[in-house]
Structure 1
Amino acid sequence: MIGSIIGAIIGGLIIGVLARLVLPGKQNISMLMTIGIGIVSSFVASLIVGAIGYRNAHGIAWIPLIVGVIVAAVLITLYCNHAGRKSIAR
């Protein structure tokens, strides 16, 4: 159980950081949010890849990793756009 949680955090960190490297420019987002988005993206990528019937025989699962980075890049972009639009009500 604890190994799964640690694995999800490490996987989320890797996917989140790779997504931030793929995106152009500077993203104003914390490392904790990057990890959270990476974890969510990893879960969503697993669902997407599983739905299309992908099964990894051995080695590194490249397809889920690539899909996870794409999903994370989209989520980071959406988060940055949403966080940038916050306005103070007067």
Structure 2
Amino acid sequence: MEITGLISALVIGLIVGGLGRLVVPGKQHISMLTTLLVGVAAALLGTFAASVLGVADTSGPDWLEMALQVGLAGVGVTTLARSKSRQFH
């Protein structure tokens, strides 16, 4: 992987992770690094799922792929925030 691919994956991961945090109600007590990692993982899994479903390569924006990515990021953020809050209770 080239450095531009790595940088773009990090930027997309940060955007997807941030959107995932926005769709989850309430305050999440996770770091920005965790959000970035969740976003990168959700972007990769969402792209894979969209490819399997056959909706990854469409003309124009891939809205279904983006919805899958943001939804997976929301699930990841919720899961990590809940597991972290249980550690403190």
Mean Cα deviation higher: 7-16 or 47-56: 47-56
One-letter code aligned to 1:35? L
One-letter code aligned to 1:4? G
2:45 maps to: 44
The total of aligned residue pairs comes to 87
Q: 5+ residue gaps in structure 1?
A: none
Give the alignment's TM-score, normalised by structure 2: 0.89
Structure 1 runs (4+) deviating above 4 angstroms are: none
Rg comparison, structure with higher value: 1
The 5 A counterparts of 1:5-44 are 5-44=6-45
Change in CA separation of 1:55 and 1:38 when aligned onto 2, cut-off 3 Å = closer
Name whichever structure is richer in helix by fraction.
2
Is the Cα contact below 8 Å between 2:56 and 2:65 reproduced in 1?
no
Q: 5+ residue gaps in structure 2?
A: none
Change in CA separation of 1:15 and 1:79 when aligned onto 2, cut-off 3 Å = same
Aligned Cα root-mean-square deviation (Å)? 1.3
- SS of match in other structure, 2:87: coil
1:78 maps to: 79
Mean Cα deviation higher: 24-33 or 58-67: 58-67
Give the alignment's TM-score, normalised by structure 1: 0.88
